[in-house]
Structure 1
């Protein structure tokens, strides 16, 4: 069991990174405001995510280089620096939003068994401390194993809640047919929401981190089948969990005509509709999702810097521990200033779409370099898939812009 589990640990790491409170918020908002009408977006996004995970992973299997090393050496150092800055900004925003949502959920949930609840600031500090404690260990193996436990809790909670709050099968099937629903009363229109769903699933940082995990595991081209199985496992689980979150909101909030604007509404609105058990399971899933994404958030910037410099990934040195500590402090900002994390998270996920065309373009170029890939360079099918994904990224980026303009226009 231990050896079999080890085969999927890199995929589980990506799953924990990808399914965070940003995904939970986006999928729950989509389900509450539009039912299962946007399920097709999740399906296409997860299929594209598999393609990108497998393609970036194959590059590292063949060359032994991580993504940032390749960008710096074979394209231009500025490309690598661009990704470090862009993803670094995204990480800072994510840390604030993730722990802000976790703190809100923990606070509302704690009201069910403690009079007045636990202050959100204390909740954020507690869960941020857990993530930092795991980071302090400094070993990739512990990161992966800790995430495996947390992801198992998260997946079990959301899938169980799906069966409790399951919407009609006909609406699930209809949601697999691409369509754009009419604008709801929510401030988050369907175009912006579709873009944010794509951004939170097809996340550029996910593919760049994938190359680091493949190199850290010591995989070579002989592990190609294992790498693809691992990527498929991650993508399939992403779809199951994301669809379960959307379905839970669609089967309860959407069915009652109740939209979603704040994270805390998930607790207050679900309880009379689904009962205390469903609320508790959903809260546990959201908290697990927040902690599982917080750990990779702390790791991303140090790992990117190590890859860019070509240095060993030693997370125990004081510079990286200090950087992770400062990032952990950002977790206190939302509860400290009583900000609204849900809408900020959706906007930040939509911003990820802007990075996607660059990410696809880079691997399209590198994967066709015969001097780097040899006989393993991209096939015609690979290139067609990547070009279609590039066009899809441009289209969703346009949708994000249109949705943002429409929202600002009121």
Structure 2
């Protein structure tokens, strides 16, 4: 291959990667330790019986990503801009506050789980292990260092590498620890696991947390920011749709792989999961040191990849709401992100339960989902905004179905969270 051919190949590869970067960013945002925890807990306690929840969640996510993106492609407005201008400023403030609250819980839970995983893993190298607080400080510093660069493209390229590592790890684990294929096929049939009296399991809370981490309101709102920043218009609709399809397809594959790994090992042995670090201790005798190491690498990559957009959520939302330029090098944003990053030290310092924090955080996301659906339903049915691109009748039927679905999951999420808190 001569230099000219090599240069042409590299240019095509770079162009192809650039088209997928927004989707990779969303994938890194979506598949974090919260998602891993929810999917692994579902697999450990119910096998593959809740696989249908991942399918339904991914289909809803694909539809919502396209709908929110189409609004921005047509109007040039981000979601928060639209809420403030065309609905009411209070709606924009509600999302800004609610998503910040959810992300704060996620930042605490993510670093708690990553630090816990590294602590358990370090026991094989150092007697007694290395304290989780040191791992938390390291990863908080690493993410903040990368943020300091201040450029979205730099974040996206960093995420692309981390997401690639995460994806490879979880896919390898799937083939090493997968349950029988017939169990996977049965999981596509919707069903609710039956829980006997006296059992502490809460299937509806797990379902709500799985939906909350996949059909995430922040995902759709941030998506509009990425679409606007990419400069896409309706002429780029196919590009946007392909990007969304790529992101959601990988989302399903990775989520299902995590569930299958837990179902093929923990569920078979009748072992429940109360914290993610248990996976490291329990998996080694069941699946071997290699599978355990791969899973640990995947978990750490998932945690770091989701922490990037987590710490950026508040300043990006503020920029969207105010219409300000997203210059993350401004001192006020660097201070804001620094304070948010420090939340990652809360769980290791106070020895809180990271899985509990994450499950509650993801279930909370399910509670705000109906408002997210209702807002885009209103906006995309306004002909003065969407012109000839208003929703079709079929689109409205699907959106209505998602709204009803989100109401049910919100109800069960709230009910289960209240029961969990009262225990």
TM class, shorter-length: over 0.9
Q: Which of the residues 332, 336, 354 maps onto 1:341?
A: 354
Are the counterparts in 2 of residues 186 and 261 from structure 1 also a CA contact under 8 Å?
no
CA RMSD in angstroms comes to 1.2
- The residue number in structure 1 matching 2:27 is 15
Kept in 1, the 8 Å contact 2:48–2:183? The answer is yes
Q: Following the alignment from structure 1 to structure 2, what is the Cα–Cα distance between the partners of residues 181 and 376? A: 41
Q: TM-score, normalised by structure 2?
A: 0.95
Deviation for aligned residue 1:404: 3.2
**What is the aligned counterpart of 1:5 among 3, 6, 17?**
17
Pairwise CA distance, 1:187: 3.6
Of 28, 44, 48, the residue aligned with 1:32 is: 44
User: What is the aligned partner in structure 1 of residue 400 from structure 2?
Assistant: 387
Gaps of 5+ in 2: 1-12
Deviation string, structure 1 residues 109-141 (Cα, Å, up to 9, x no partner):
122223322210000111111111111111111
- Alignment of 1:152 onto 2:169: no
Match for residue 96 of structure 1? 108
2:350 maps to 1:360: no
Equivalent residue for 1:396, pick from 391, 394, 409:
409
1:326 aligns to 2:327 (yes or no):
no
Residues 363 and 417 of structure 2 are in contact (CA less than 8 Å); yes or no, is this contact kept in structure 1?
no
**Which of these residues, 237, 249, 252, is aligned with residue 224 of structure 1?**
237
Q: Deviations over 1:143-194 (max 9, x none)?
A: 1111110000000000100000010000000011000112278744101110
Shift of 1:400: 1.5
State the TM-score, normalized to the length of structure 1.
0.98
CA distance in 2, matches of 1:75, 1:403: 31
Q: Distance in 1 between matches of 2:74 and 2:67?
A: 11
- 1:255 aligns to what SS in structure 2? helix
Partner of 1:70: 82
2:222 corresponds to 1:209? yes
1:257 corresponding residue in structure 2: 270
Structure 1 gaps of 5+ residues are none
Provide the rounded CA distance (Å) in 2 between the counterparts of 1:376 and 1:41: 30
CA contact (8 A) 2:33 2:299 kept: yes
1:143 paired residue number: 155
- Runs (4+) of structure 1 exceeding 3 A deviation are 184-188, 404-410
Question: Which runs of structure 2 are paired with 1:279-298 in the superposition (5 Å)?
Answer: 279-298=292-311
**Structure 1 Cα separation of the partners of residues 320 and 110 of structure 2:** 25
- What are the within-5 Å matches in structure 2 for residues 152-171 of structure 1? 152-171=164-183
